[in-house]
Every structure is written in structure tokens, then in C-alpha cells.
Amino acid sequence: MKKTVRMHIASCGMNCSLCLAFQREKNTCPGCRGPDKDKPKYCAQCILKNCIDLKRAKASFCYACEKPPCKRLKQLDKRYRTKYGMSMVENLKTIDELGLEAFIDAQTKKWTCKGCGALLCVHRGVCQNCGKRNPRFPGVLKG
């Protein structure tokens, strides 16, 4: 089982450890802070990952930007809140207020399967390890 580490938290507040592309067995994505050559094209070209304002500010997270949240972060946040039960803006707020280590601890507790102890995938309605329902998933399960 992979666990969340500092490198797995993207500048937008996404916990890459919970991403389907990161958790899958084949063609595993290394996370937003990993090498681009091993990422899906849409991740490598992400506007937030490659944000000039963030680079100019020499900041690690979007909350440090001059005008957060930007339009793209708002769009991503809305999609993830609606479809997956995760808020990038709330994640960033937690990182800013409590620090990265406390955020990682809280994420691990929040997103660990109660059935088997594996990390849940934010993009799936059931645990990929044991099949137990993901209580955080707001979408309708297909099946």
C-alpha cells in the first residue's frame, strides 16, 4: 500500500496519493511533483502545476498566490467537490492553517478504508482493494 508523503501533495491541494492514476498498477503516475515523463499528458500540462504566478512567487502551494483562488482552481474545486467529495480550496486552507504534516495525517485518516486499511481512491465509489463502499464518494455507483 502506498502512503501519502509530502511530495504527493500538489500545489493545488490535490492529494495525489488518492488519485486513480497514482494508485493503479500499470502506467502509474508519480504525482504532480514527480517527473513529467511518467505522467498522463493532461497532468504534465496542467495550468495549476505550471502556474507562472506560483513560480514567480517561489511558492509551493496556491494559497500563497497573490490572488487565490484563481479561475482554474475554482473550476477544479467545484468539479471535485461535486463529483468526488474533495475540495482543493479546503485542502489548501488546512495546509495553510495547520501545516503540511497535519494535513497529511488528517487526509490519511479521512481517506483510509474502514474495511481493509488501504487508501481509498477519490475517483472511485468503492475501495479498489476490498470493494467496500467509499463513504466519501458523493456520486452514484455504477454497477
- The 10s digit of each residue's pLDDT in 11-48 is 999 999 999 989 988 888 888 888 888 788 888 888 88
Greater pLDDT, 9 or 135:
9
State the residue range of the domain holding 104: 6-110
Model pLDDT, residue 44 = 85
- Is 25 part of any domain? yes
Residue matched to cell numbers 488518492: 18
Q: Is 119 helix (H, G, I), strand (E, B) or coil?
A: strand
Q: What percentage of residues in the chain have a pLDDT greater than 90?
A: 57
Q: In total, how many domains does the chain have?
A: 1
Contact 33, 10 (CB under 8 A): yes
- Is 96 part of any domain? yes
Q: What angle do CA 80, 95, 21 make, to 5 degrees?
A: 40
Rounded Cα gap, residues 125 and 36, in angstroms:
28
- Is 132 part of any domain? no
Model pLDDT, residue 17 = 93
- Is 10 part of any domain? yes
Model pLDDT, residue 59 = 87
- Is 70 part of any domain? yes
- Is 48 part of any domain? yes
- Is 92 part of any domain? yes
Model pLDDT, residue 74 = 95
